[in-house]
Amino acid sequence: IFKGKENLPPGPNGIPFFGTFPYASIEEILPVIQKYGKIFMIKTGVVNILYICDFKTAKEALSKLEFADRPTWKTMRIVFSNGTHWLHNRRFLLRHLRDLGMGKSKIEGIMRREIEDLVEDFKKVTKIGPSSLPFSINVAILNIIWQLVASHRYDFDDKQVEQFMSKIREIQDAFITISIPKESKLRRVCREFEDLVQPFIDNHLKTLDPNNPNDLMDDYLIEMKEKKNQDYSHFSIKDLVRVTFDLFVAGNDTSGNMTRWILIYMSRFQEIQEKIQKEIDRVVPRDTLPGLQHRNELAFLDATINEIQRHCSMISMGVFRYTTKDVKLAGYDIPKETAVISVAGISHKDPRYFKDPEAFDPFRFLDENGKFIPTCEGFQPFGIGKRQCLGENFARMELYLITAALLQNFTFAPPDGEGKMSLAPADMANFNFPKEDQKFSIKYRN
Ligand code: HEM
């Protein structure tokens, strides 16, 4: 595929036939940038991988339709959709998530119900000394998506939760590690996922009231039946399973792990936690959980969440894109079917966008009037362009509500006698996920 392409981005040649093994961390990428610059390409087997470590170039590229596909390798094809299916599913989901089409207050209601239970469950661990974060945090976040999708929820001690989560994890694991031998396993897990979701769809079909949709499944089935215009021609039960699947795979572990990061950072930066708690105490009556009506006055909390997302760069290597045709970028020729990685972990630490980038400083996301700055050049925790996270507003609302409620009621710290809380991520390629076994001292704030 290189033939005839004259001006490819530079990059290491690697071993003959095999090429270069993809980079798994920012530390591996830094010396390559030193040698080849912020746009470089490697060849892994027969696959070209383009790394974009410059925010402006990434923004230019990823906003183009030519960069909007996900790779069509065997395992990726099972997990991601492309072309018109992707476009129609995305439009449908955006209507319901980014624009919070279900109604902000309905979504807030769903989240609140889970958060109330979560606060009660956290109270139990405050009595038992240093502990890991309770499992209820995973269940609450899973329930929020289930409620949104199919008005379903689990009790915190329901044994089915672990089973369901392990399926989502197996799917994620298989495409994160891009290992082809796992393909048959991945197909099996996806079929099991379909079997699990199908009874919910059958039930929704039976009880569907077109004038009174309850959740996303209802909305999808109504739009599918109405087929208002050609946009709906792809709507099918099969695609509804896919839409559901996208939400669980993309929206569950991401929010869960980011919540863990937030609590780790709060334990590490006690003075920031204290400042947020003071603000909450000033703005929110003690017998009321913080809600969206308090959000403007809790700007420092949103700024802190942004700064944690920047500082930890959880999805540090972004999520693979794929070029749909030969395309020019920054003067280089990028061949069709090149895998593209926009390296968020580099732009989040780029001093051109973030002064003293290693410092943890929530104030960088507040303007001179103390108003929250939701985004800026260089900031890309939710990706950029055509495939940017479509759950972004939903996730931001979720992180705000959960963090506000937890900090109103609890103080997080390293276990007594231990020094500073470690910010080291779990040992995992491509992602900076927090360590799951991290212990906390969690104190109830009377
Ligand atoms: C802190 C939480 C979250 C983070 C950090 C996050 C981050 C991301 C990133 C980096 C991407 C890839 C963007 C790209 O390729 O440019 C993505 C895609 C996606 N996210 Fe999120 N996400 C979060 C929560 C959620 C939630 C709660 C939902 C849904 C309820 C969601 C749904 C999706 C979907 C469906 C995609 C695929 C979009 C597409 O391919 O068109 N995400 N997310």
391-439 pLDDT, tens digit each: 999 999 999 999 999 999 999 999 988 899 999 999 888 899 999 889 9
- Whole-prediction pTM value? 0.94
- Over residues 133-137, the mean pLDDT reads 92
SS3 content of the chain, % helix, strand, coil (to 5): 50, 10, 40
Q: Rounded to the nearest whole angstrom, what is the distance from the C-alpha of residue 250 to the centroid of ligand 1?
A: 5
Strands 47-52 and 338-342: parallel
Q: Rounded to the nearest whole angstrom, what is the distance from the C-alpha of residue 372 to the centroid of ligand 1?
A: 22
Using CA atoms, how far apart are residues 71 and 245, in angstroms rounded to an integer? 18
Ligand 1 atom at minimum distance from 321 CA:
15
Residue 1 has pLDDT above 50, yes or no: no
For residue 8, report the phi and psi dihedrals to the nearest 5 degrees: -75, 155
Q: Say if residue 389 carries a ligand binding annotation.
A: yes
ipTM above 0.90, yes or no: yes
Using CA atoms, how far apart are residues 335 and 1, in angstroms rounded to an integer? 7
Please give the share of the chain, as a percent, with pLDDT higher than 70: 92
User: Which of 68-72, 249-253, 321-325: highest mean pLDDT?
Assistant: 321-325
Higher pLDDT: 100 or 256? It is 256
Q: Rounded to the nearest whole angstrom, what is the distance from the C-alpha of residue 246 to the centroid of ligand 1?
A: 9
| Confidence band for 330, pLDDT divided at 50, 70 and 90 | very high
| Confidence band for 192, pLDDT divided at 50, 70 and 90 | confident
pLDDT tens digit sequence for 260-275: 999 999 999 999 999 9
Look at 46-55, 101-110, 184-193, 323-332 and tell me which has the smallest mean pLDDT.
Answer: 101-110
Q: Which of 90, 389, 402, 432 to mutate to test the pocket of ligand 1 (most atoms within 8 A of CB)?
A: 389
**Which amino acid residue places its CA nearest to atom 2 of ligand 1?**
255
At residue 86, the pLDDT reads: 85
Q: Rounded to the nearest whole angstrom, what is the distance from the C-alpha of residue 429 to the centroid of ligand 1?
A: 18
Please list, in sequence order, all residues whose beta carbon lies within 8 angstroms of the beta carbon of residue 288, skipping any fewer than 6 positions away.
Answer: none
| Confidence band for 182, pLDDT divided at 50, 70 and 90 | low
Q: Which of 254, 324, 342, 384 to mutate to test the pocket of ligand 1 (most atoms within 8 A of CB)?
A: 254
Ligand 1 atom at minimum distance from 380 CA:
10
Using CA atoms, how far apart are residues 444 and 411, in angstroms rounded to an integer? 7
Please give the share of the chain, as a percent, with pLDDT higher than 90: 63
Residue 239 has pLDDT above 90, yes or no: no
At residue 92, the pLDDT reads: 86
Residue 188 has pLDDT above 90, yes or no: no
| Confidence band for 80, pLDDT divided at 50, 70 and 90 | confident
At residue 26, the pLDDT reads: 94
**Which amino acid residue places its CA nearest to atom 24 of ligand 1?**
251
**Which amino acid residue places its CA nearest to atom 7 of ligand 1?**
382
State the Cα torsion 103-109-115-120 to the nearest 10°: 180
Nearest residue to 318 via CA among 256, 376, 382: 382
- DSSP at 333: E
Using CA atoms, how far apart are residues 52 and 47, in angstroms rounded to an integer? 16
At residue 102, the pLDDT reads: 58
At residue 165, the pLDDT reads: 87
**Which amino acid residue places its CA nearest to atom 11 of ligand 1?**
389
**Which amino acid residue places its CA nearest to atom 36 of ligand 1?**
389
At residue 308, the pLDDT reads: 98
At residue 226, the pLDDT reads: 79
Residue 45 has pLDDT above 80, yes or no: yes
| Confidence band for 229, pLDDT divided at 50, 70 and 90 | low
Ligand 1 atom at minimum distance from 385 CA:
16
Q: Which of 382, 393, 398, 401 to mutate to test the pocket of ligand 1 (most atoms within 8 A of CB)?
A: 382
| Confidence band for 101, pLDDT divided at 50, 70 and 90 | low
At residue 372, the pLDDT reads: 98
Nearest residue to 87 via CA among 60, 69, 66, 64: 69
State the Cα torsion 149-150-154-158 to the nearest 10°: -100
pLDDT tens digit sequence for 347-375: 999 999 999 999 999 999 999 999 999 99
Ligand 1 atom at minimum distance from 258 CA:
1
Q: Rounded to the nearest whole angstrom, what is the distance from the C-alpha of residue 238 to the centroid of ligand 1?
A: 21
Q: Classify each residue of 65-101 as buried b or exposed e, where b means 16 or more C-beta atoms within 10 Å of its C-beta.
A: ebbbbbbebebbebbbbbeeebbbbbebbebbbbebb
Ligand 1 atom at minimum distance from 97 CA:
30
**Which amino acid residue places its CA nearest to atom 19 of ligand 1?**
389
Where are the domains positioned within the chain? 26-444
Residues near ligand 1 (Cβ within 6 A): 62, 90, 97, 145, 246-247, 250-251, 254-255, 258, 314-315, 318-319, 381-384, 387-391, 394-395
At residue 98, the pLDDT reads: 61
3-class DSSP assignment, residue 82:
coil
**Which amino acid residue places its CA nearest to atom 16 of ligand 1?**
383
Q: Rounded to the nearest whole angstrom, what is the distance from the C-alpha of residue 249 to the centroid of ligand 1?
A: 9
Residue 440 has pLDDT above 90, yes or no: yes
Residue 78 has pLDDT above 80, yes or no: no
What integer best gives the mean pLDDT of the chain? 90
Using CA atoms, how far apart are residues 225 and 232, in angstroms rounded to an integer? 9
Look at 197-201, 219-223, 281-285, 382-386 and tell me which has the smallest mean pLDDT.
Answer: 219-223
Q: Rounded to the nearest whole angstrom, what is the distance from the C-alpha of residue 383 to the centroid of ligand 1?
A: 8
Architecture in CATH of 26-444: Orthogonal Bundle (1.10)
